[in-house]
Structure 1
Amino acid sequence: MQVVDALPLVVRRLGLVEYEPTWAAMRAFTDARTDETADELWLLEHPPVFTLGQAGKPEHLLRETGIPLVKIDRGGQITYHGPGQIVVYLLIDLHRRRLKVREMVTLMEQALIDCLADYGLAAARKDGAPGVYIGGDKIAALGLRVRNGCSYHGLALNVDADLAPFSAINPCGYEGLKTIRMKDFGVTDGVAEVGEHLLAHLERLLAPRPAIDRP
């Protein structure tokens, strides 16, 4: 069994940034990358915005709120981003890390589950509904786009975000789905502190895996 060389992983902590310029930057990064381009994780927050996936149905926005709606190129339906919610964008060469798309989704979910476990919260996956849940209520969402074997977009974890905007949508297309946050369980750490826990788990799970020598 051969161990692959260490793969560089750049972490960028961007703070509070507008959605559309960040989305454009992800696409530009992915279009310009080469075999030598390091993978990157972008940790950030967005001002209030609804995003609707490429196959998303506009009727999942239940009422007008004044929050902008942006139609984007990830999978999935509608979700909300806002201050107090951790967003991590994963700009990853899946082939180089020997990951298939489904494995990448599972990795993202596991990082969230492990991060929440750091705070004594027992989170889990739900069959047929990507994301992470506590007691059936959604605490984290995810959505990816893969182009030429490289991913962008990523995941969002509710830390102490205002949950009111979620009442104006069917989160991720599920009518009546309750959305929760870490603050509801007595977690006092903010986005910066929780973000470092989440980054550590993502970096651990994205570490190079052994390559199997085949005859």
Structure 2
Amino acid sequence: MKILFKLTLVLVFVLTRAGVQAQGKAQLEKDVADLRAWLIKKANQADSVTRAEWPAIKQEFFTRTEKLDKNASKLSDNSKQEYGELKSQYHDMEQQNEEAYGQPLNREEAARWERELTGTNNIKAIRMIDLRDRYVYFMEQVRARRTRWSLRDWDYAEHVYLQLSDRKELVLDALPNGDKMKIAALQVEFNTLRKSRDVKDKFENRKQNSN
């Protein structure tokens, strides 16, 4: 009786382990399919991706591939091959974006842009009651200057925008609803202007390179 009981336990353990392994393999295959869909989506959006969005895309790729890298040996042969091809496609896209965005921003120049576009030398110290006015001032400057800006200038303007956004997140819970709505509208406007210029310049560069 004891022997039968032990055999039953062993059988249950083996079947359970096999089921877990099968589920794990199926999940890995699904992860490859999800990565494929994600990469296709990002490739289709390539012309509208800005410098500020690129770090988040890189982090998402790392998150999506971390588990796959550790368990690649468990994938089927077809999935292994496809996974390698997907990683290669991503790295090509990454290289293109890194080349397009050029060198990192200069710290002194970034500080000058912060001062000129917000009227303050210390965005991190903007008071909650003044944040809406700073956003309004920022967008007034963007509208007035944007037609003269190069893509590099837009990188500095986006840096200032991100500094303002970080400050907003810190005081968001205390902001009046009216201020939240106004700031959100201004953020949408800035991103629309930024992406439209980015797309225009990338299109012109491709056009020149094809001639």
**Normalising to structure 1: TM-score of the pair?**
0.26
Where is the helix percentage greater, Structure 1 or Structure 2? 2
Bigger proportion of residues as strand:
1
Give the alignment's TM-score, normalised by structure 2: 0.26
